[in-house]
Amino acid sequence: MNLGDFREDYRRGELDRSGLDVNPLAQFETWFQQAAGERAQSRWRKIGIALYKLWSALGNHRPPDSNAMTLATVDQSGKPSTRTVLLKSADERGFIFYTNYDSRKGRELAENPHAALTFFWPELERQVSVAGTIAKLPAAESAAYFHSRPRGSQIGAWASPQSEVIPNRAMLEAKWRKLEKQFPQEVPLPPNWGGYILWPERMEFWQGRPSRLHDRFSYLRQADGTWKIERLAP
């Protein structure tokens, strides 16, 4: 297999300064809604999407999660690591996700509270990159989200010593079954599980264009809270 032959000429959209919102979080919301298919679409596009969904269902092909994002962290020695997590909320404070605080990413965020996120929506030929500082959510907010999760996922948060070496899957499943009996009704919030919020200091919006002359715009937060918008070379 020659990966050099894997090429895509992007032609599905363009991005111009006049079309950007002055607030990058508002711009992100617009793009995210489009990626999630929430905006009004033409009749023929709706028909095409319906046929695609039918094909996906018949072939058991699940479309990618539009809220999936790559989270990059750095440990205290400067070594980076990445993983895919799910965005669970985005508001004027920033980007929110949940995880085990004792996991590798949790430990690295405790050592270095600076992180970066990347969203990639290939169907729209778009990418959003975010960099900023991380803080834990208040426990009450984490608990509210935790109790909205399916019961199995709640028990799973207790059962999994995330990022630790385990002997086999049987051990993990046995622990899950034990906890299922231990919590016959409400599952309490684990003390080492909760949310993080990334407060953005820089955001970049990328739209694929033909001949690799992509459109890129960066937002840089200024001292007065406003955002400086600049076009970047692709």
What digits encode the pLDDT tens for the residues 161-200?
999 999 999 999 999 999 999 999 999 999 999 999 999 9
Closest Cα to residue 119, out of 98, 162, 90, 147?
90
- Provide the pLDDT confidence category of residue 147 given band limits of 50, 70 and 90: very high
Q: What is the model's pTM?
A: 0.86
Query: What residues are labeled active site?
Result: 212
Residue 4: C-alpha distances to residues 1, 10, 212 (Å): 9, 17, 15
Which CATH number does 22-147+189-232 carry? 2.30.110.10
pLDDT (average), residues 125-151: 97
Residue 59: C-alpha distances to residues 23, 53, 54, 63, 66 (Å): 40, 10, 8, 11, 20
Indicate if the pLDDT at residue 68 is higher than 80: yes
pLDDT at 11: 82
pLDDT (average), residues 106-114: 97
pLDDT (average), residues 39-55: 54
pLDDT (average), residues 73-77: 95
End-to-end CA gap in the chain? 28
- Provide the pLDDT confidence category of residue 39 given band limits of 50, 70 and 90: very low
Residue with tokens 């072939």: 59
Rounded to whole angstroms, how far apart are CA atoms 83 and 71?
6
Of residues 183 and 56, the one with the higher pLDDT is 183
Q: How many helices (H) and strands (E) does the chain have?
A: 6, 9
110's torsion region: left (phi>0), alpha (psi -120 to 50) or beta?
Answer: alpha
The DSSP 8-state label assigned to residue 212 in this structure reads G
Residue with tokens 């979080």: 25
